[in-house]
Structure 1
Amino acid sequence: MNAAPLDPSAHRLSPHFSLAEMTVSATGSRLGLSNLPGPRELATLTRTAERMEEVRALLGNLPILVSSGYRSPAVNRAVGGSSSSAHMTGHAVDFICPAFGSPAKVAAHLARNLTAFDQIIEEFGDWVHIGFGPGQRRQLLTARRIRGRTRYTAGIEGV
């Protein structure tokens, strides 16, 4: 007997993060692309949601708004994501925490206080990308668009 399909709106990955918000994709919805993870990605995404609980606690337990968590390969291509994006494995989240402060302030605070992560990227002054991939590189980057291209510089302002 096959398991019932996941209902993203009802499936909680952790106390504050649902499958629906960790798979949200305006682009995927607009293009009619499925963005449900497979079993392996779902297990990883659950661990990522648990790590996001740690992030939330470091940010004073203030609400976090996820703009991108898991991305299916089709959704990742549609948004112009890297072919090796940690979003496709469920290891990465793009988010903001407006009640805490700007993305730069959030990224700097996490860079100083989070002990285990792969990447923290303050992107375009608009959001924070955090990756919990197996590499645990503790890589800190700032992304900016310069003449239509994304440029990454080492570090995060204030760290």
Structure 2
Amino acid sequence: MATWLSPHFTLEELTATQQRGLDNTPSAQVTANLRATAERMEAVRELLGGHPILVSSGYRSPAVNRAVGGAVRSAHLTGQAVDFVCHRFGTPKAICRKLADSPLAFDQLIEEGTWVHVSFDPRLRRQVLTKARGGGYHTGLR
């Protein structure tokens, strides 16, 4: 049975991992963060015309984050980041353009090439980045 964090997002989809054998169970604090993140993702979904969002990564335990090569201070570790696509809306670049041009409160919005990363770290810097070929990031959308 699914544990709904918001009308369209479940705890199970925001904690799913392909890293077999690694525990990805969130703490009570991370679960509270995931609930707040799910509510913010409802706003993202609304901005994208109400189309379904496919989450590829939400919360990552430290072991899972290390296994996937995540940043040491990744907002995924606190349940405050989501990697996703929304095929019915458009490309990751189109999604980023829409979110960047909206009043949505976010910390980082990254066009990663084949997916979008959005984080809701409390700093809410509205930092917009594009993944660079060969590694690193460019400021803004390219």
Q: Give the TM-score band, short-chain normalised.
A: over 0.9
For residue 138 of structure 1, the aligned residue among 126, 134, 137 is: 126
Deviation at 1:115, TM superposition (A): 2.8
Paired residues of 1:55 and 1:114 also in contact (CA < 8 A): no
Unmatched 5+ stretches in structure 1: 1-8
The answer (yes or no) to whether the contact 1:22–1:68 under 8 Å persists in 2 is yes
Q: 2:97 aligns with which of 96, 100, 108?
A: 108
> Aligned Cα RMSD in Å?
1.0
TM-score, scaled to structure 2: 0.97
Task: Specify whether residues 35 and 114 from structure 1 end up closer, same or farther in structure 2 by C-alpha distance, changes over 3 A only.
Answer: farther
**Alignment match, 1:6:** none
Separation in structure 2 between the aligned mates of residue 114 and residue 16 of structure 1, nearest angstrom? 21
The answer on 1:156 being equivalent to 2:123 is no
Structure 1 Cα separation of the partners of residues 133 and 24 of structure 2: 27
Give the Cα–Cα distance (whole angstroms) in 2 for the partners of residues 92 and 134 of structure 1: 11
Query: How big is the shift at 1:24?
Result: 1.4
Distance in 1 between residues matched to 2:63 and 2:96, nearest whole Å? 28
Shift of 1:62: 0.1
**AA paired with 1:105?**
A
The equivalent residue for 2:39 is 50
Dislocated runs of 4+, deviation >6 Å: none
The residue matched to 1:41 in structure 2 has which SS?
helix
- Rg larger for: 1
Question: Runs of 5+ in structure 2 lacking a partner?
Answer: none
The one-letter code matched in structure 2 to 1:87 is: H
1:33 Cα deviation from its structure 2 partner? 0.6
Q: Secondary structure at the match of 1:129?
A: strand
1:38-63 Cα offsets, whole Å, 9 max, x none, are: 00000001000000000000000000
- 1:4-153 residue pairs with structure 2 within 5 A? 9-26=1-18, 28-29=19-20, 32-123=21-112, 125-146=113-134, 150-153=135-138
Evaluate the alpha carbon distance shift between residue 93 and residue 110 of structure 1 in structure 2; reply closer, same or farther with a 3 A threshold.
same
Q: For the Cα contact (< 8 Å) 1:140–1:155, is it kept in 2?
A: yes
SS of the equivalent of 1:135 reads coil
Select the structure that is richer in strand: 1
Give the letter aligned to residue 152 of structure 1.
Answer: Y
How far residue 109 of structure 1 moved from its aligned partner, in angstroms, is 0.6
Deviation of 1:34 after TM superposition, in Å, equals: 1.1
How far the C-alpha of 1:145 sits from its partner, in A, is 3.4
Residues 115 and 10 of structure 1, relative CA distance in 2, 3 Å threshold: closer
Aligned residue-pair number: 142
